[in-house]
């Protein structure tokens, strides 16, 4: 089957900085915005850009991700010539190993790419919150007659050290590249989105593999500079790497702020609502007689008798009488019993918070944490527990 372009979606990330949220699932599979998962943004961008073949490279705890992607139907990536294929590590005659890095994962699946003889290959990662029409990127790439185009976004200089940083000339050609530099010379950060001419990609992957290269940012890009036409495509919309608890929490809060630029509806983000019958099995939302709900996103199956302010609730969350939930993100099936107060918390699935529990805003410390409490999947917090000590770090309750 011949395709002009296919996408390879890197979804293997461990997401270690997300702590217990990523303990039982890959980072792209972490719930976001009530009913979504982080990977939905990239999947929807791909589908909305009319790219209809996607290989999803998984490695770390792929089960929830595989269930979520299923046959690709939610994103309309299902049909005779449209497909999503999960590509886990495999053993073959020659190559057999875990994926050692981003480029190694693609290298090990060159066979999948060749099946479609595409001219272009889009490499994207599944752990960013953004909206992009890749058609514009493709147009730019062709216009520049590029071998590879890397999407860049301006970040504050003090954060630049966390990213791959590009230096571009007047023609937007990338002339220098530094991976997580201590003294960044530019603030154009890589978004982890690369568009390659397939032949060039293949050549580079094989070449790099010979030298032991396994990572796009560390090995492939530097190898290309000077040899190939590599361009930077500057993106200026909403884009967040939700790799930390603070960033993850803030992006969820952005959903509640119309000025933030994060607009799921306008972006046409789709998700799989039928995992294990999840959505269809919940009853509709019920908001009780004395309940108060302010500026919040509420999903199906939620039952609210208490107060919910500035929060994002996944399906099936129960907030009992006189309980207060503020500035929080609560995952599926969690119960908050009466008279409890939950502020600035991220609470994973199926947690039970007893009566009169206090989880208050942590005092902000010097290390820039925002004082968020994170409670792991299935935790039971006994009645009258208190978590409001002045901690300098985000509090994790496992």
Partner 1 sequence: MTDVLGMILAGGRVDELLTLTEKRPKAAVPIFGIYRFIDFVLTNMMISEIDNVGVLSQYRPYSLMRHIGTGEHWDFIGRKRGVRILPPYKGIKESDWYKGTADAVYQNISYIEEFNPKYVLVAAADHIYQMDYRLLYRYHIEKDADVTVCFTMVREKTPWFGYGIIDKEGHLLGYQEKPKEPPSNWVSMTVYLFKSDLLKEILKENAGQDSHEFGRDVIPGLIGKTRIYGYKFKDLWAYARTIEMYYTTNMEYLKKRGILRRWILRTNLVEGCENQDRIPTRVLGDVSNSVIGNGCVIYGTVRNSILSPGVFVEKNAIVENSIIFHNTIIQRNAHLESVICDKNVNVGESCSIGTFGAEVPSREFSELLKSGITVLGKGVEVPEGTKIGANTVVYSTAKIIDKEIPPGSTLR
Q: Residue ranges for the binding site for alpha-D-glucose 1-phosphate?
A: 99, 164, 179-180, 190
Compare residues 287 and 385 and give the one whose CB is closer to partner 1.
287
Query: How does DSSP classify residue 217?
Result: I
Decide: helix, strand or coil at residue 371.
Answer: coil
Interface characters, 223-262, with partner 1 (x: CB under 8 A): ----------------------------------------
Q: Is residue 316 at the binding interface for partner 1, with CB under 8 A as the rule?
A: no
Given 211, 284, 389, 390, the residue binding partner 1 (CB under 8 A): 284
With contact defined as beta carbons under 8 Å apart, do 18 and 248 qualify?
A: yes
Residues 6+ apart with CB under 8 A from 326: 307, 308, 309, 310, 311, 341, 342, 343, 344
With contact defined as beta carbons under 8 Å apart, do 140 and 51 qualify?
A: no
Stretches 86-94, 208-216, 236-244, 278-286: which one binds partner 1 (CB under 8 A)? 278-286
Query: Residue 81: exposed, middle, or buried by beta-carbon count in 10 A (0-12, 13-18, 19+)?
Result: exposed
Q: Is residue 68 at the binding interface for partner 1, with CB under 8 A as the rule?
A: no
Q: Is residue 66 at the binding interface for partner 1, with CB under 8 A as the rule?
A: no
Q: Is residue 49 at the binding interface for partner 1, with CB under 8 A as the rule?
A: no
Q: Is residue 270 at the binding interface for partner 1, with CB under 8 A as the rule?
A: yes
Tokens of 186: 């530019």
With contact defined as beta carbons under 8 Å apart, do 292 and 305 qualify?
A: no
Scan for tokens 């032991």, then name that residue: 212
Distance CA 123, CA 15 (A): 19
Q: Is residue 291 at the binding interface for partner 1, with CB under 8 A as the rule?
A: yes
Q: Is residue 295 at the binding interface for partner 1, with CB under 8 A as the rule?
A: yes
Compare residues 245 and 312 and give the one whose CB is closer to partner 1.
312
Give the nearest distance from C-beta 325 to partner 1 in angstroms: 13
Please state whether beta strands 128-130 and 174-179 pair in parallel, antiparallel, or not at all (unpaired): unpaired
Q: How many other C-beta atoms lie within 10 A of the C-beta of residue 225?
A: 16
Distance CA 287, CA 299 (A): 12
Stretches 3-11, 48-56, 273-281, 348-356: which one binds partner 1 (CB under 8 A)? 273-281
Give the nearest distance from C-beta 284 to partner 1 in angstroms: 4
Phi, psi (degrees; rounded to nearest 5) at 66 = -65, -40
Distance CA 280, CA 245 (A): 30
Give the nearest distance from C-beta 84 to partner 1 in angstroms: 15
Please state whether beta strands 318-319 and 335-336 pair in parallel, antiparallel, or not at all (unpaired): parallel
Give the nearest distance from C-beta 48 to partner 1 in angstroms: 11
Restricting to residues 186-215, which ones interact with partner 1 according to CB under 8 A? none
Count, residues near partner 1 per rule CB under 8 A: 37
Binding site for partner 1 (CB under 8 A): 33-35, 74, 76, 264-265, 268, 270-274, 277, 279-281, 283-291, 293-300, 303, 312-313
């Amino acid at each position: 089957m011949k395709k002009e372009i296919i996408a390879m979606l890197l979804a293997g990330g461990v997401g270690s900085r997300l702590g217990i949220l990523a303990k039982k699932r890959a980072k792209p599979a972490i719930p976001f915005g009530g009913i979504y998962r982080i990977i939905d943004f990239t999947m929807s961008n791909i589908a909305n850009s009319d790219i209809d073949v996607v290989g999803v490279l998984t490695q770390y705890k792929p089960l929830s991700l595989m269930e979520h992607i299923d046959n690709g139907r939610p994103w309309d990536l299902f049909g005779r010539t449209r497909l999503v294929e999960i590509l886990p590590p495999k053993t073959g005659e020659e190559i057999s190993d875990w994926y050692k890095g981003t480029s190694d994962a693609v290298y090990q699946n060159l066979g999948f790419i060749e099946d479609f003889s595409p001219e272009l290959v889009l490499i994207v990662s599944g752990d960013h919150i953004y909206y992009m029409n890749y058609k514009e990127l493709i147009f730019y790439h062709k216009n520049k007659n590029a071998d590879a185009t890397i999407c860049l976004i301006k970040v504050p200089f003090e954060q630049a050290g966390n990213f791959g940083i590009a230096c571009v000339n007047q023609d937007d050609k990338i002339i220098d590249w530094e991976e997580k530099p201590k003294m960044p010379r530019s603030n154009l950060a890589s978004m982890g989105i690369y568009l390659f001419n397939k032949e060039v990609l293949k050549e580079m992957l094989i070449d790099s593999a010979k030298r032991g290269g396994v990572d796009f940012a560390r090995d492939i890009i530097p190898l290309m500079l000077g040899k190939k036409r590599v361009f930077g495509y500057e993106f200026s919309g909403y884009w967040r790497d939700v790799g930390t608890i603070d960033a993850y929490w803030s992006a969820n809060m952005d959903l509640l702020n119309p000025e933030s630029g994060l607009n799921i509806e306008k972006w046409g983000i789709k998700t799989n609502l039928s995992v294990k019958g999840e959505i269809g099995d919940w009853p509709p939302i019920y908001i009780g007689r004395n309940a108060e709900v302010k500026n919040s996103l509420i999903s199906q199956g939620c039952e609210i008798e208490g107060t919910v302010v500035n929060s994002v609730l996944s399906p099936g969350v129960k907030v009992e009488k006189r309980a207060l939930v503020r500035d929080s993100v609560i995952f599926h099936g969690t119960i908050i019993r009466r008279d409890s107060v939950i502020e600035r918390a991220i609470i994973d699935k199926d947690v039970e918070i007893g009566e009169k529990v206090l989880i208050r805003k942590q005092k902000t410390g010097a290390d820039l944490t925002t004082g968020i409490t994170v409670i792991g999947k299935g935790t039971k917090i006994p009645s009258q527990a208190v978590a409001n000590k002045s901690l300098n770090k985000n509090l994790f309750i496992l």
